[in-house]
Chains A and B, each alone.
Chain A
Amino acid sequence: MITRHFEPRQLIASAALCATGGAAAYLGMYRYGLGELFHLGAGAFPFLLGLLLVALGLLNLISAFDPPPAPTRHQWFGALAVFASIAVFALSLETLGLVPAVILLTLTSRLAEPPFEPVGTLTLAAGLSVLAYIVFVFGLRMPLEAFNWP
């Protein structure tokens, strides 16, 4: 079951699992407290899970690894655009208002799948803004302003 050739992503996965497990076990033992066997403390369960995760991370190194294709440049860029659009929406929703947030989300996320097509994208942004306003502000009465210009 030893993998024939070196696969960096397998190493990354194992390292991440071991680091997370180790941190959880450490926090469980020293920060949250293991308690007694008959009266387990807040840290006992995380401690146990942390140790298990470290063990599984090590086992992962010797188990067969059949990764999906590595992300292409296009996919990296697409992922970044999508993540950025979520962040922009989260940061602008309460500061700028619902409509600008929706427009920013649409514009940013559309970068992920080129070509950008300005007309189609703006139409989509406008459509989603109207829908958002009618459904969430007017319909469900969520405490949001359509525009929140300073």
Chain B
Amino acid sequence: MLDIFSNAALGLSVAVSPENLLFCFIGVLLGTLVGTLPGIGALAGVSLLLPVTFYVEPTTALVMLAGIYYGVTYGGSTAAILLNLPGSSAAAVTCLDGYPMARQGRAGVALFMTTIASFVGGTFAIILLMICTPLLARVGLNFGPAEYASLVVLGLIAASTISSGSPVRGIAMVVLGLLIGTAGSDFETGRLRFTFGHLEIADGISFVAIAMGLFGVAELLNNIGSGARTTTVSRADYSWSKLYPTRQDWRDSWGPMGRGSVLGAAFGILPGTGASIASFIAYAFEKRWSRTPGRFGNGAIEGIVAPESANNAAAQAGFIPTLSLGIPGDAVMALMLGALIIHGITPGPQVVTSHPELFWGLVMSFWIGNIFLVFLHLPLIGVWVRILLVPYKYLYPSMLFFICIGVYSVSNSSFDILLVLLFGVLGFAMLKLDLPAAPLLLGVVLSPILENNLRRAMLISGGDPLTFVERPISAGFLLAAVVVLVFSLNLFKRGKGSQQAVPADPD
């Protein structure tokens, strides 16, 4: 246990360096902005800011990107409560009771309590992160290439099937991503693959261009033509006295916050079930738990604090498998790993021990970021509401500009902008063909890791493919992958009724 404290002290000293404090603040500020604006999710926000990571230290880069991610879960609730529009998919459930509360003139209380709930959920998950990650990493250090390859397969299958509408198309996109990830020179033989004469992609296709095309451009296209948003916000009272919850509100909230935090953290750790699913399940659980389920949907405070604590806990807990084993649970986590790879750090169990300043600095920055968020939200709610009114017609050309100049800045090459165009077209086609984009990104990021371990495992076993099922831990992972697969196919066969309940595509 003492280890944790000395490590936390190390992390704190990293996290409070002026540069890290600044980028942590920029991250949570942008996250709040992105979360508040409907039509831009965490994925697009983090993708847009990826180029900045080239200019700073890896720790600073992760501090900022992570800040955007959990800032989005805070900010998403604002649009949900005030406009009945979820700013991010994780906040969709918050609409159910948050909007009725706003209509009853209790918008201030709702916003206040969601901020507190997010903070509680985040705090719980950070403590879990500090305890579990080093332990899991120690287990992971014993894995050989066969175990690691099987673990990657399990992670990819879980992430692409559990929450997706169609497991077949989810896995197909993972495979396509893995293929795209092999482009460039082979690490063993140096043979160029899938470059088609373009030496620009000899080092692999720019990960930033893929993320920006698939998530930045395609998401923007999805919003175009969906009807200009003409939103009006009722002039609610955001003064401090209106914000402060009653004694009854507090009493009703502690239980749901606690249960929401635990559920959220549990679903955050599992691959494939991120913040959106966690918030939905926390809501359903609270409704069942409650002695007065009829109040849900009519402005019950339990109905906002449970999902909000759950989605923030899930956002933080998602870092556990990502940082301890190098297995990202969703596309945002894949972007984080991509940022590490950009800096030459191979994701995996060795990261915690070989880069303690990175892991502990990042974890301690979560505390700072969560505190920033509380102070960013409560006094400034009026400002965030104004931001909701920025017309989309001015927003999307600006986004396009930042996408283009951002990807150009990475290696000063116009070719990368054309790659964004290519992946933008692919993303648009995938959107309209019902092919999910998030699994593709996971495939791209994990492709070199999977191929490398696969080939090493075959070399070690003397060319025996059975090595993957003969080694017990590896066999266990593969068995789990099969179970997940069967489970998801089954869910999917029960038809749409069972899936309607799950919020669509966690962006």
Q: Which residues of chain B have C-beta atoms less than 8 A from A109's C-beta?
A: 396-397, 400
Complex CA distance for A74 and B188, rounded to whole angstroms: 48
Complex CA distance for A90 and B433, rounded to whole angstroms: 27
B interface, how many residues as a size bin?
Answer: 35 or more
Q: Mask for A9-45, Cβ within 8 A of B = 1, else 0?
A: 1001100110011001001000011001111111111
Instruction: Check A37–B458 contact: CB distance below 8 A.
Output: yes
Instruction: Check B182–A40 contact: CB distance below 8 A.
Output: no
Q: Which residues of chain B have C-beta atoms less than 8 A from A12's C-beta?
A: 433
Instruction: Check B492–A64 contact: CB distance below 8 A.
Output: yes
Residue from B191, B398, B409, B434 having most chain A Cβ neighbours under 10 A: B434
Q: Which residues of chain A have C-beta atoms less than 8 A from B214's C-beta?
A: none
Complex CA distance for A105 and B414, rounded to whole angstroms: 14
Cβ 8 A contact of A105, one of B169, B400, B432? B400
B197 contacts the other chain (CB 8 A): no
Cβ distance A11 to chain B, nearest Cβ, rounded Å: 10
Cβ 8 A contact of B221, one of A45, A56, A78? A78
A93 contacts the other chain (CB 8 A): yes
Instruction: Check A86–B417 contact: CB distance below 8 A.
Output: yes
Whose C-beta in chain B lies nearest to the C-beta of A93? B414
Complex CA distance for A128 and B403, rounded to whole angstroms: 13
Whose C-beta in chain B lies nearest to the C-beta of A1? B493
> Contacts A89-B417, A91-B414 given: A40-B454 contact, CB under 8 Å?
yes
Whose C-beta in chain A lies nearest to the C-beta of B398? A128
Q: Mask for A43-59, Cβ within 8 A of B = 1, else 0?
A: 11110011011001101
Instruction: Check A38–B458 contact: CB distance below 8 A.
Output: yes
> Contacts A40-B458, A132-B405 given: A46-B431 contact, CB under 8 Å?
no
Cβ 8 A contact of B404, one of A13, A50, A89? A89
A102 contacts the other chain (CB 8 A): yes
Whose C-beta in chain B lies nearest to the C-beta of A12? B433
Complex CA distance for A45 and B224, rounded to whole angstroms: 39
Instruction: Check B417–A90 contact: CB distance below 8 A.
Output: yes
Cβ distance B90 to chain A, nearest Cβ, rounded Å: 20
B176 contacts the other chain (CB 8 A): yes
A63 contacts the other chain (CB 8 A): yes
Complex CA distance for A13 and B238, rounded to whole angstroms: 50
> Contacts A40-B454, A49-B175 given: A90-B394 contact, CB under 8 Å?
no
A70 contacts the other chain (CB 8 A): yes
Instruction: List 8 A-B pairs, minimum CB-CB distance, nearest first.
Output: A38-B463, A37-B463, A90-B417, A42-B186, A56-B172, A42-B191, A78-B224, A75-B225
Q: Give me 12 A-to-B residue pairs in the complex whose CB atoms sit less than 8 angstroms apart, sorted by A's number.
A: A9-B433, A17-B176, A32-B191, A39-B459, A56-B168, A60-B172, A67-B434, A86-B424, A90-B421, A94-B414, A109-B400, A113-B396
